[in-house]
Structure formats: C-alpha cells, structure tokens
Chains A and B, each alone.
Chain A
Amino acid sequence: MSYSADVVIIGAGISGCSIAYNLAIKGIRNVIVIDRSYIASGATGRCGAGVRMQWGTKMNCLLAKESIEFYEKANEILEYDRDVTFYQGGYLLLATTEKEISQFKENVKLQNSLGIPSKMVSLKEAKDIVPHLNTDILLGAAFCQKDGFLDPFLTTDAYYKAAKRLGVKFLTYTEVKDIIVNNNKIERVVTDKGDIWTDKVVNAAGGYSKNICDMVGIDIPVYSDRHQILVTEPIEHVQGPMVMSFSMNLYCQQNPKGPFIMGRGDDNEPRDLRITSSWKFLEDMAKTIKNVLPPVANLRVVRQWAGLYNMTPDKQPIYGKVDEVDGLYLAIGYSGHGFMFGPLTGIIIAEMISDAKPTVDVSLLGLNRFKEGNLILEPSVV
C-alpha cells in the first residue's frame, strides 16, 4: 500500500481522534490516523476518565472548562449513536493541611473569576455530599458540581465515528516505524504496511511519544510512568462525586452503574513501558481507602489494570510545532490528565495546522519552555 495525506496523525487515542475530527470540520479531510492497535487501546481506554474544572492556573482552568462544556454536548455535536455517559457528580477535593486549604481558597477565587462554579465546603457539608467520608482526618474540602467522569472508550469512539463520516481514514493495527525527513521537512511516514507521503505529522502517541520524536532525532524531556487502577464489585449508588486528595495520593469514584474505581500514583515506579499490575499497588490502595472512605474497603476488588502516564518536567502537556523539523506537531505529555483536555487538544492542534486564531492561548505550552526554563507552576496535579 502507498498513500498520501495532508496530515498524518500517529495515535488513535482521545487526542488523535479529537484532532482528526477538528481538522475534518475545518475542511482538512485528507487525513490519516494510524494506530498500532485498536482505537483507544492506549492510555485513553485505560484511564479513570475523570474531568475537572478545579485547576490552579488560568490556562488549565480554561482548557478544562471548555473541554467539559464540549463533553456536556458531545452526543449531539458528534451525532453519536450510543451515549458517552457523562456523569456530572462533581469532584470533592480533600484538604489535610493548612497549606492545602489556603491553596484551594486561592484556586477557588481564580476559578470563580473564570465562571467555574467551585466553592470551599466545611467538613459537615463534605459529609453531606459523601456520607461515608472519614472527615476526622480532614481540615476542609473544595467542591465543583460540574466536574465528573465519562466513558473514555465510548467518547473516543464518538470522535472516531464522526471523523470517519467526514472522510478521515483510520489505519488500525498499523505501526509507525520511521519518519523520513529531508532538508528539515517531513517527506513520508514509514509503517509496517507501507509508506504514507505527507508533509505534516502530528505526534499523538501518548506513552510512546518519545519513540516517535526519536525517529526524527529530537530528544524530548518526556518519560512514561506506569499508573495503576482498580475496580470493585458493584453496589447501589451511594457516592456522587469523585473524591480526590493530592496529599494522600488518591482518587476514587463510583460509576452510577455501581462499581467503585480508584487509583493512585507511585513515585517509585520504574520509568519504562511496562503496563502489568502489581500487588504493592493493591496494598497501598487498600490502606488508603480504609482510612479515607472506610465502608468502601468492604467491597471486593474484581479487576486491576495499568496504563502509561506520559510525564513532562512540569507535568503539563506539550502542544505545537518544533524548531528542528518543519511540519511536525506535538500533542503529548499530558502527565495523567489528557483525557479531560481532549476536546481542546483537538481544537488547538487543528487551529495551529490551519493557522487560525487560537481558542485558548497555549503558547506557554511549547517544547521550547524546557530549554528556556519557563516551566509552568500548577499546584493541583496528582
């Protein structure tokens, strides 16, 4: 096989599919999306799929807010024949230290100024929202009802189908092996099924973003980190919001259909591309949940799995062109929160490729910030 395309997108996760759809609605339809496996087989299909507007920088608040407002209408806009099942039960962010309290207060002020309906809540209010919460170990909390979660696989499927209807081609089970560059310009993408001639490539390869950049000789300061997650047996619906704590390293939500889903990070993880499950994660998770949401510990674990976080030095994504190679665009390094930025990722990259005015200014998120030492300080990442 031999193809040519205006744009080749590497990776069919939420990022790649959203970029493809947004290019297509701008009229750029000779687009090919390549994935070595099936749609959403990477981090996207493995993620907690929580989305929150409660961020600590203006840029992140706006990226998340606009994305969530899109997700609210995703079924209609994407004309999806299933349901992305967006459930807006809110996020309850727990504070265990005075420092966290003052940080949350500052964040809420910023969020409110941008139209995000978050608020500080007392321990009693927190308990009204989540009756089984152990408030003895807390000082306070912040809450935003607009936050929530949706089905990551179906959401990506919705983008995929909409893009396909508009003429985008998807090559699944096809692996990108190399990218040929000539005079600093992209010439073609080499896959195990043949070559694709193009002068524009989007790297949306998630945990493998570094491997793609290696192909064109660009060394990016990004690594991948295994993150684990588990699901319990289902019970009646008792927990509305996602409960999250930065200091105790925990997030836990209940799917309206009954099962609880919970995860945490681990700084001691080896930095490789393993996605197997470990017993230590189960133990740490069990102890934390028993402390924070005691009755949830009485549930049985039915499954645990893992996926890759693609980490950058400041835990913020990298969006945009690179100096070294003309026609290469990066949409990578989400550091564990790329699902909730998915809709804006697509809009922003499509705007860059078509030279349109950006919906949200992300010029701070270019690759050059690491060389120039302009890292972003975002206080609210897990």
Chain B
Amino acid sequence: MKDNDVMVCRCSDVSLKELRELIKEGYHTFEEIKRITRIGMGSCQGKTCGNIVLRELSMATGKNINELNMQSNRPPVVGVKLSLIAEEADRDEL
C-alpha cells in the first residue's frame, strides 16, 4: 500500500501521506498538526489515530515517544447531549 492509501485518521479523513508531508514541512507537534488537518478532532477524539501520529513524529524527529506530547485531554470524555445537561441544571435549581 502507498502512503496516500493508508488512512491514519478515519474520523477526519487524513492519510499517512498528508501527515508525513506536514512533518516534513516542519510542523513537529501534535497540536499544530491537529489544527491544520483536524486529525484527532473527530468523533473518537484521537483515541484511534493519536498513537500513530506520535509514532510518526518520533520517527521523524528522533525524539522518544514519551517526550512528545499528546494533545490535551479536554472534557467531556464521551459525548453528552446538551438537552440532558440543561435538564440536570434545571433540576438542581428546584
């Protein structure tokens, strides 16, 4: 398989080729790559693709994976419906 056939991020449609080109252009952190491609911002919030991005960054920069930062974890970890939050809030006020 060629790089551009391999999907790194299924949620946001990013191929391995695109990822490697960005790293080559000099974008060397997860946060930058995420903001350009939306990688890791899909419905799984990077649970699937995050580690692949780190591995590629590690290979390109020679840094150990442990030294590289994953994107920040932001609440809520699983999706909650806004209407449910609103109902809970109204109940608390009774």
Seen from chain A, the residues whose Cβ lies within 8 Å of a Cβ on chain B are: 38-41, 45, 82, 153-154, 157, 232-234, 277, 279, 282-287, 289-290, 296-305
Contact = CB atoms under 8 A, between A and B. Distances in A.
A299 B76 CA distance: 13
A153 B35 CA distance: 6
23 contacts: A38-B29, A38-B31, A39-B32, A41-B31, A45-B35, A154-B36, A157-B36, A233-B79, A279-B75, A286-B82, A286-B83, A286-B89, A287-B86, A287-B90, A289-B82, A290-B82, A290-B83, A298-B82, A299-B81, A299-B82, A301-B81, A304-B74, A304-B75
Interface of B: 29, 31-32, 35-36, 41, 43, 45, 74-76, 79-83, 85-86, 88-90
A286 B74 contact: no
Interface centre among B75, B82, B88, B89, by most chain A C-beta atoms within 10 angstroms, is B82
A305 B45 CA distance: 14
A286 B80 CA distance: 11
Closest 5 CB pairs of A and B: A300-B79, A283-B89, A286-B86, A153-B35, A286-B85
A304 B82 contact: no
Contacts of B80: 300-301
A174 to B, nearest CB: 15
Contacts of A282: 76, 85
B74 A233 contact: no
B88 A283 contact: yes
A40 B27 CA distance: 13
Interface centre among A40, A301, A305, by most chain B C-beta atoms within 10 angstroms, is A301
B89 to A, nearest CB: 4
Given A45-B35, A232-B79, A300-B79, 12 more contacts: A38-B29, A284-B89, A286-B83, A286-B86, A299-B81, A299-B82, A301-B79, A301-B82, A301-B85, A302-B43, A302-B76, A303-B41
